[in-house]
Amino acid sequence: DGGITQSPKYLFRKEGQNVTLSCEQNLNHDAMYWYRQDPGQGLRLIYYSQIVNDFQKGDIAEGYSVSREKKESFPLTVTSAQKNPTAFYLCASGQGDTEAFFGQGTRLTVV
């Protein structure tokens, strides 16, 4: 089945810890994206990648890091530098000139 897989669905993190969210796609898309969603603020772009081994900062990249070593994978690390990490995180992939396809999201909670 083709699609975007995000894991885990729910994630709990202690303050001061780094945590990595997984995103895998088997759609052969060049572009991949990470968004953060908070109530009333829509989707804010964290990082995006147009091609393997290359990525660009989005609008709220501070406190996050990514890698794109394989076309199908775009993991997001939420570092301890992110002061307010509790949110719903969405990953997507696309071809740039067509629509993006979204995963089901990961809800991260800092405890």
Binding site for another protein (CB under 8 A): 4, 30-31, 33, 35, 40-45, 48, 50, 56, 58-59, 90, 92, 94, 96-105, 107
Residue (17 or 104) nearer to another protein, CB:
104
**Strands of the chain, DSSP E:** 4-7, 10-13, 19-25, 31-37, 43-51, 54-57, 64-66, 76-78, 87-94, 101-102, 106-110
Residue (8 or 96) nearer to another protein, CB:
96
How near is the Cβ of 63 to another protein at its closest, in Å?
20
Residue (18 or 38) nearer to another protein, CB:
38
How near is the Cβ of 95 to another protein at its closest, in Å?
9
How near is the Cβ of 16 to another protein at its closest, in Å?
27
Q: In angstroms, rounded to a whole number, what is the distance separating the alpha carbons of residues 42 and 70?
A: 28
How near is the Cβ of 51 to another protein at its closest, in Å?
9
- Residue 74 CB contacts under 8 Å (≥ 6 apart), including other chains: 23, 25, 32, 33, 34, 49, 55, 66, 67, 68, 91, 93
